[in-house]
A and B are shown apart, each in its own frame.
Chain A
């Protein structure tokens, strides 16, 4: 940054502010609207800052509609998805980063696993519905979590392989020579060193499951998750805008809190693989 002029700095910050404004405005608008009553909601032109803030919308979704139940469903589903996807995906990533299969099979596997994300999810929905019905996973949070994990495993593998590759090989070899087993090395060396990556992928899978709509709608209609409940504010007869906004805020806040709590891991995990001695 040395040598940059004052004007350059100013322009840079102005640019950042502009981008932030564009990105954050819808979020602000959602919060703003969620505190408006029906009258203010329909006012034209709309009020930029709410004039008569009310908790009415929140009371509606939380007490009348029982959103806490939906949040609980979402939490269980997302935790299942994140735990399963990170465990399975990072084990696969570790194997692919450490063992060389013949005939360039590492590469083929890594590529093949991406195909999970290549066809539209809706294609797999109907077969999955029948399979789930047969094996009794339909309408379970665990079953939905598994599907979410399945969708996200490729992401975990691709992210974690970079982290594992960054761990110095001879550190693991030293542990093997020191008398440890492969699994011991994975647990005591690789996992601790890849922790930022594990945290980052965990959160990404969690968020993606938390927000997922299609599978949640079809495969788990009895234990609705938040996105379904939010969409439920739009009915055949009316759109409950106030409730819709409040529900949106309610569904977003936990994810924001989670992201803030783990910010340090997230930024480190998403920017570098950085394991340096």
Chain B
């Protein structure tokens, strides 16, 4: 088994190729599905396309696969511009959200399809199907039809059909979204492992930020057809470039409080009817430079600590709701009528209606321009990961 895995790995690594989108746009009539996408995926990298439903992830993948014509721009696989190549000439393998198994063929024939098309010899096909079937643990299902196996098994067949040949790129469109929660977690781990072993460039589409964070070498976050930010999970999480990215990553999402900016006593304050928060000096310079009257202050629920005692440097809030998740508490509060959620370890819970004070480290504070939603320049905490 180990030996097989090794030969598989060895055979595959050399084939992988980088991918690049260069100013790629796709329009359906008047709908701008993908807007000027520029993104390069390195050889062997696992890139996750993340974004809400309808943001153009699938369209991007389909353009790369050759299933959708490009309105403008260039797509390259390796050095080859593939814009006008049919899918079969692009040497990609794709796992569809619906799995798209051939319902009239057995599992064996499903796996064999890409090899038969390539006119491999009978015993070679048989050997490789057997090998891959063992790898994805469906060797005992080879005679069944897709409708006779479970959802998880179908997923494995789809995966097996993708890895049975030596593609330059793997494309996966929400491959786990049809599985139940437990199986999804399990398969997520397996996918990551396969990708590591095969070391083949992979573009993985999902709307699930947790899935993206755990799988990705780098994440590309999209919204309304526009690429927002690309970077390693840690980086996009810590230094989101705008309120969309900040709000999309993390669960529950980042809290935003829109507050007035006031200069008093040689110091900047963020104020609301009940709030008077002194801006830490390291942030103040940037705010001065931007000369904004209002700011959106962002803090993640897990970065807030909660106190029952008044504090000059904290933000007063009222407890609106408490959710006990067993291992942790979600405290839903209101700050001048704006929502702020706090995640704290399980323990004594505040009661609804309690007056509490929220505090956080300046390093965990994110500031955004509420009109453009962009992050204020140079207010990012000292970079911990290298930017690419």
Contact = CB atoms under 8 A, between A and B. Distances in A.
Contacts of B88: 176-181
B277 interface: no
Interface in B56-97: 65-67, 86-88, 92-94, 96
Nearest to B65: A177
B113 A178 contact: yes
Contacts of B192: none
Contacts of B165: 179
Given A168-B100, A174-B94, A277 B114 contact: no
B103 A179 contact: no
B168 to A, nearest CB: 12
Given A184-B117, A277-B146, A174 B103 contact: no
A276 B147 contact: yes
A179 B114 contact: yes
A176 B102 CA distance: 12
Contact of B67 (A168, A177, A179, A275): A177
A131 B161 CA distance: 54
A174 B100 CA distance: 6
Contacts of B127: none
Interface string B342-363: 0000000000000000000000
B104 A192 contact: yes
A171 B102 CA distance: 6
Interface bracket on A: 10 to 19
B98 interface: yes
Given A176-B86, A176-B87, A177-B65, A275 B103 contact: yes
B118 interface: yes
B101 interface: yes
Given A170-B96, A184-B117, A177 B102 contact: no
A175 interface: yes
A178 B114 contact: yes
A275 B96 CA distance: 18
Given A168-B100, A171-B103, A277-B101, A177 B146 contact: no
B94 A180 contact: no
A168 B98 CA distance: 10
A173 interface: yes
A44 to B, nearest CB: 60
A193 B100 CA distance: 13
8 contacts: A171-B100, A175-B113, A176-B87, A176-B88, A177-B88, A178-B161, A189-B104, A277-B103
Given A177-B67, A178-B117, A180-B88, 18 more contacts: A168-B98, A168-B100, A170-B96, A171-B100, A171-B103, A173-B67, A174-B94, A177-B87, A177-B88, A178-B93, A178-B113, A178-B161, A179-B87, A179-B114, A180-B117, A181-B88, A277-B101, A277-B103
